[in-house]
Structure 1
């Protein structure tokens, strides 16, 4: 055994000793992010409901996430250690997942040039210095999640997501928490019949859009892997059947960490930003005009609005039961 191999073995054993209930990881790394980074505030946005099979949060604040990598499945566990982050991974794709861990936690985020320019945003920015804008890098994962949320209440979309991923995804490598799954491949999504979509509350319009992107999984992923610019990716997404401005923005936020993507068409965003920052409800046109001074960081502004304690309009009508909305958000 070489001196380098002995040192690596010693470091690996030390990492394992910190959590004796977990087996030694197949790959791991600990690093100090170049900017303050909060795991909860950064990757927490990626979790789609408390029962998301692809991401879980432990009571101690550590976050588990499954990944389908070119080398095989992996599960990673992120732990906050002061200003440093420890990532441990298990499974065939562990080394691949660990190599990309900093990017998943916002290492590519560039907040330079962002000026809050509003007392509420200044306070939120000061209280949440570790909130990075990060993307998963998995185009199909982001597309399916956003498409399921088109035109329906969030509770219904998240329930469909959980049931579909549980059904189609393979179990995550040990020692992932019980019930965690690897996000399904494009082929798995294509295998669902019409009745199976309906059984989990997904109308055939959204199902058709998911099937369309699943059939083009590789070409969709190349947009990320080849590092196409955000404007090009937006144009490509908008050219797809069933994908509109809201879905494109959501995908760019979730997959690419686009700090400027505005979810125009969101039923809550414009009224909440308006009430919080201007004292009155906005429509979409007013939202876009109001956010113009923050171009380059408009999604960052939206995240800070919610993180800082957004002003939400009181509900004046009975809560709708989950189901399709009349508006054409997509």
Structure 2
């Protein structure tokens, strides 16, 4: 991977209308394997109007983050077509704004899958055991990658907010809290984007504001336990073994296997983390393989031949276009705190 980096000091006043287009730092690199920017980064978003991720096209995605305590917003795009490079092989360009821009920039390739190598999986006997629909999905989506953002605190808060509630409730709570507590995204980021709060900012959220965001005391208490371990979570970001990170995360009261897997799938390009105890996933996977609903135990049994790559298999099922029947009872929120 060849990387070209440039940095520059942002100029102008602090008013958004006066912020210049020039990024504080930028980099361009040639990926070592095909990368589909939107497909890779969309997994980080919670809804089309997520305040921290905005997918504006297949080759244009904005993100915000707090890196080493400093706010940053960044735009991922593709360089111009050169030579025989296909659309998924073209250079990736990352432009970043804000006080954390220069420190964050070296990590940018990991956000779009530089830490996710499918080579060993695709050359293994296990890959040959995949159903034809999944090998076809991989052929049709060669740019699918697992991101490794390293932003463990930010992703932990998002995942805790999703415990025991519907996706709609979690999305509303997350957006409300970032609107009230998060900072406006630096640079020319799309309207409405916010930088995730720091640990200290989360600590200062009063109980009435959690209530106003419809976050119950159990989840807000778990968020507080998470932010009090912020330094430890930052160290976990540097671990290279997602399984050990999942285990360490579960030492925090209120974080179980579901929450830990939801975190590492995004922060560590976790190829094997499966979201057990999810309300939908077991049925989704079981319908694909069995043509019938099933349990978490059955899902894990079905995925066992691909241990070490089970999350990749789940992503391929989703990429295949598989849909399970929509009939069934309305959701009863599951308790993921200790599962």
Match of 1:85 among 92, 101, 113: 92
Deviation of the 1:8 alpha carbon: 6.4
Contact 2:255 2:336 in 1 (8 A): no
Taking the TM superposition and a 5 Å limit, the aligned residue runs for 1:4-19 are none
Residues 1:159 and 2:172 aligned together = yes
Kindly provide the CA deviation profile for residues 139-194 of structure 1, in whole angstroms up to 9, marking residues without a partner as x: 11110011111111111101111111111111111211122111101111111222
Taking the TM superposition and a 5 Å limit, the aligned residue runs for 1:89-104 are 89-104=96-111
Residue in structure 1 matched with residue 82 of structure 2 by the alignment: none
Change beyond 3 A, Cα 1:286–1:62:
same
Contact 2:53 2:63 in 1 (8 A): yes
Change beyond 3 A, Cα 1:58–1:326:
closer
Deviation of the 1:57 alpha carbon: 2.0
Change beyond 3 A, Cα 1:8–1:204:
closer
Residues 1:278 and 2:285 aligned together = no
Counterparts of 2:51 and 2:250 in 1: how far apart (Å)? 29
Deviation of the 1:313 alpha carbon: 2.0
Residue in structure 1 matched with residue 67 of structure 2 by the alignment: 69
RMSD between aligned residues: 2.0
What residue ranges of structure 2 are gaps of 5+ in the alignment? 8-18, 80-86, 122-126
> What's the secondary structure of 2:120's corresponding residue?
coil
Residue in structure 2 matched with residue 15 of structure 1 by the alignment: none
Kindly provide the CA deviation profile for residues 270-297 of structure 1, in whole angstroms up to 9, marking residues without a partner as x: 1111111232222100011110111111
What residue ranges of structure 1 are gaps of 5+ in the alignment? 1-6, 10-20
Kindly provide the CA deviation profile for residues 33-61 of structure 1, in whole angstroms up to 9, marking residues without a partner as x: 11110001111101121221111122574
Deviation of the 1:30 alpha carbon: 1.4
Residue in structure 2 matched with residue 209 of structure 1 by the alignment: 222
Residue in structure 2 matched with residue 131 of structure 1 by the alignment: 144
Change beyond 3 A, Cα 1:251–1:71:
closer
Residue in structure 2 matched with residue 238 of structure 1 by the alignment: 250
Counterparts of 1:252 and 1:92 in 2: how far apart (Å)? 26
| Aligned pairs, number | 307
Residue in structure 1 matched with residue 232 of structure 2 by the alignment: 219
Counterparts of 2:35 and 2:240 in 1: how far apart (Å)? 26
Counterparts of 1:230 and 1:287 in 2: how far apart (Å)? 20
Change beyond 3 A, Cα 1:296–1:198:
same
Residue in structure 2 matched with residue 307 of structure 1 by the alignment: 319
Residue in structure 2 matched with residue 177 of structure 1 by the alignment: 190
Counterparts of 1:264 and 1:8 in 2: how far apart (Å)? 43
Match of 1:34 among 32, 35, 46: 32
- Between 77-86 and 21-30, report the one with greater CA deviation: 21-30
Counterparts of 1:172 and 1:78 in 2: how far apart (Å)? 15
Query: What TM-score does the superposition give when structure 2 sets the normalisation length?
Result: 0.85
Contact 1:47 1:55 in 2 (8 A): yes
